[in-house]
Amino acid sequence: MRLSEPWWLLLLLLLPVPWLAERARPRLRWPSLSLLPPRAWKAGGSGWRRQIPLLLRASSIACLAVAMARPQTIAGQTRVRSEGVAIVVAVDCSLTMTAEDVPTGSGDGPISRLEAARRTIDRFILGRPDDPIGLVTFATFPDLACPPTLDHDVLRALVASVEPARPGENATNIGDAIVWALRASLDADTQRRVVILLTDGQNQPDASATPDWLDPDEAATLVRRLGGRLYAIGLGAPGGTVRVGIPGTGISYPETLLEGYDPEALARWADLAGGAAFGAEDAEALDRIFDRIDALETSPVTGQIRTRYREEYPPWVAAALILLAIDRLSSASRARRLP
């Protein structure tokens, strides 16, 4: 137990006040008790009984002094991370990410590119418990799904819920996605910032929907100027198949993807931002890429223990009130002092 405000214990110096006040109280001078009715002088009782009200008042002062000093006990302790690497993953959610052409190596058949991204990012999050990690999804528009956070349970749930972009939003706005991820990383209280771009296509923004779209070269340059680093990852290979829906009909048809990501563009953006570029055509390769990034972005983490305290003053307040109530009752009983 500890006292949060121990200086209130100075009130204990007031403990003699009830006795001093009693001595200073004016009294009538009687030459003899025989002049008073018998009940009047017998009401005073014995000496120790006459001390009861004074003891009650002094005890209530002591209880109030302890209560105001705020006694506390430890309710729990939390480790607070004070430094790490702020990482924001920008994931392409355009229609092409639904192509089921990513082998898993487990014999279960290929999975979609988006599912491969979800699994690998989840695994990456589990391996970095001390780093604030965020998530940006993008297609025609970027969206901050989760700012950098140490609450990785919430982040993992959000990653698992990532779905393809809404129908009609089939563009790939990479420049804006990089800037959104960078801006999110700047809000984290860390000295190092990393943006991980994961896409299966080339930069093809919808100029009608986003007329002010930012060129990825400019976005990557901005990352470096603001002290960040960009890792660019290309996923999949040409030849995958997606189903394209016809708006308003509920009908869809298969379409073969003739183009994939641009390795040269990824390498250029990564170089402008002081990072590295990678390519993956299967889930195991994607896992290895994130393992590589994990090894490149090591950082010592300093932390402190934050202790939570439970307030224990209510019983002391209750005791003081009870003692005062007893004092009031005893004042009307045989314990009151003879005037």
The 10s digit of each residue's pLDDT in 52-85 is 788 888 898 899 999 999 998 888 766 655 567 9
108-117, 132-141, 186-195, 293-302: lowest mean pLDDT where? 293-302
* Domain locations along the chain: 2-76+310-331, 83-301
86 pLDDT more than 80: yes
11-15, 103-107, 262-266, 317-321: lowest mean pLDDT where? 103-107
Fold classification of 83-301 is Rossmann fold (3.40.50)
34 pLDDT more than 60: no
The predicted pLDDT at position 333 comes to 61
The predicted pLDDT at position 98 comes to 87
The 10s digit of each residue's pLDDT in 123-162 is 999 999 889 999 999 999 999 999 999 999 999 999 999 9
336 pLDDT more than 50: no
The predicted pLDDT at position 335 comes to 46
Interval 251-262 mean pLDDT? 67
Question: Percent of the chain, pLDDT > 90?
Answer: 48
234 phi and psi, to 5 degrees? -100, 135
54-58, 292-296, 302-306: lowest mean pLDDT where? 302-306
Q: Which band of pLDDT confidence, cut at 50, 70 and 90, is reported for residue 20?
A: confident
- Identify the CA nearest to 233 among candidates 57, 102, 60, 325: 102
- Identify the CA nearest to 199 among candidates 279, 121, 142, 276: 279
Walk across the sheet containing 133-138 and list its strands: 142-149, 133-138, 85-92, 192-199, 228-235, 276-280
Higher-pLDDT residue of 313, 277? 277
* Residue-wise burial string across 294-320, b where 16 or more C-beta atoms lie within 10 A, e elsewhere: eeebeeeeeeeeeeeeeebbeebeebb
